[in-house]
Amino acid sequence: MKILIVGSGGREHAIAWKVSQSKLADKIYCAPGNAGIAEYAECVDIKSTELEKLAYFAEKEQIDLTIIGMDAPLVAGIVDIFEKKGLRVFGPRKNAAIIEGSKAFSKDLMKKYHIPTAGYETFDNPDKAISYLKNSDYPMVLKADGLALGKGVLICQDFEEAKAGVKAIMKDKQFGGAGDRLVIEEFMTGREVSVLAFCDGTNIKTMTSAQDYKRAKDGDKGLNTGGMGTFSPSPYYTEEIHEYCMNHIYKPTMDAMKMEGRDFVGILFFGLMLTEKGPKVLEYNARFGDPETQVVLPRMKNDIVEVFEACIEGRLEDIQLEFEDNAAVCVVLASEGYPEYYEKGYIIHGLENFKNKEGYYVFHAGTQKGLDGIVTNGGRVLGITATGTNLKEARKHAYEAAGCIDFKNKYMRNDIAKL
């Protein structure tokens, strides 16, 4: 099979690596890709948002399967465009990707179908939002309704902070059009867990659990980011919790989307909060998580292309997902200053140390090939993943590996998987 992967981050590198192991994959392309993905795929100079160009390329090259890694093209309707041209594609259609594309939609869906989540209100007028916040209990959570690269969430400790947050999101458009509407949500406490699931529109099969670290600095301080690290599995996600979530969250979400005429085919990501009153949904994503994918796929035993095919053909029930009885930890190496201002173009040293080294994976996120080697080209530069017999061992391996790679202005959190 000829396979095209759409995206350019660490998530897409992990997908490309996993697809390259499939007995069904003969040739892999990635658009636009990055310096690490180039090891497994031919990188194509087409942006992930250039939907018609991507479809034309898939037609011209007779691509057998396209895998959409990123949220923006899914929400924009890339799957619909490909399907209209008779192209085989893995990911939800536009009317289903809205589960990530609009937080207001997903909150209303959960409310309608009694799926446990935090209490909330939605506003499209900043003054009404500020008025509501005057009499609210704190902390309070502000969420830009649309896509904001994982950064459109503010946790506010008091009214003044919340008022400034509304201004930043709705008036100053810090997150662009994503802030046209605002979801104000009650603050939940507990352990956060991420669970990714394959869906075929009717059936849902969950992958192993993971936990990620959104804040930029140690101790969960600093600004929200796209993710500074992750580990798998979560020791807090028990079999009992899994059964509860399957009966009250996972299957009901699939059924709700079907009832709404929005059959979901692709990856459904559940961001959960394990509260004192039971698990509740923090957020949905309509694609693989980043950096959760970097610890989940290295533990997955299945041929991933076979699973993609089963989802597209509506026969996911025939697939038995299997994962290694081990643990994985991913530490993100970022550029100092991320998620705000940061510099690019610095040579990365030490990558050769992990070439084909078993149990170690270097997933490129923001890199490109320079004149003198591979250089930094983003806020999140690399995801250093290592496995071990347990989380403690995997963590030790991941940080040892992270210490062997260097570039100017390198930054990382030092408390990933420190339980």
Q: Top-level CATH class of 327-411?
A: alpha beta
Residue 304 dihedral angles phi and psi, to the nearest 5°: -65, -30
Assess contact for 104 and 145: CB atoms under 8 A.
Answer: yes
Domain boundaries, the chain: 2-94, 119-186, 191-318, 327-411
Count Cα atoms within 13 angstroms, Cβ side, for 316. Answer: 21
| Exposure class string for 239-251: b at 16+ Cβ within 10 A, else e | eebeeebeebbbe
pLDDT, position 357: 86
pLDDT at position 150 is 67
Looking at residues 10-39, what average pLDDT do you find?
Answer: 97
- CATH superfamily membership of 119-186: ATP-grasp fold, A domain (3.30.1490.20)
Contact 99, 105 (CB under 8 A): yes
CA atoms of 386 and 326, how far apart (whole Å): 11
User: 167-176, 251-260, 314-323: lowest mean pLDDT where?
Assistant: 167-176
Which of 131-140, 148-157, 219-228, 403-412 is the least confident region? 148-157
Residue 236, helix vs strand vs coil: coil
Q: Mean of the pLDDT values across residues 70-89?
A: 97
- The C-alpha angle with vertex 147 and arms to 145 and 152, in degrees rounded to 5, equals 70
pLDDT at 153: 87
- The predicted structure's pLDDT at residue 14: 98
How confident is the model at residue 325, as a pLDDT? 97
Task: Using pLDDT thresholds of 50, 70 and 90, give the confidence band for residue 419.
Answer: confident
Average pLDDT over every residue of 373-389:
97
Mean residue pLDDT of the chain comes to: 95
pTM of the prediction?
A: 0.94
CATH of 2-94, one of 3.40.50.20, 1.10.1040.10, 3.40.50.620, 3.90.1530.10: 3.40.50.20
Please state the rounded mean pLDDT for residues 109-129: 95
Q: Across 242-311, where does the E strand assignment appear?
A: 265-275, 278-285
The answer to whether residue 355 scores a pLDDT higher than 80 is: no
Q: Does residue 353 register a pLDDT over 90?
A: no
**191-318: in CATH 3.30.470.20:** yes
What percent of the chain has a predicted confidence (pLDDT) above 90?
Answer: 92
- 160-207 pLDDT, tens digit per residue, is 999 999 999 999 998 988 899 999 999 999 999 999 999 999 999 999
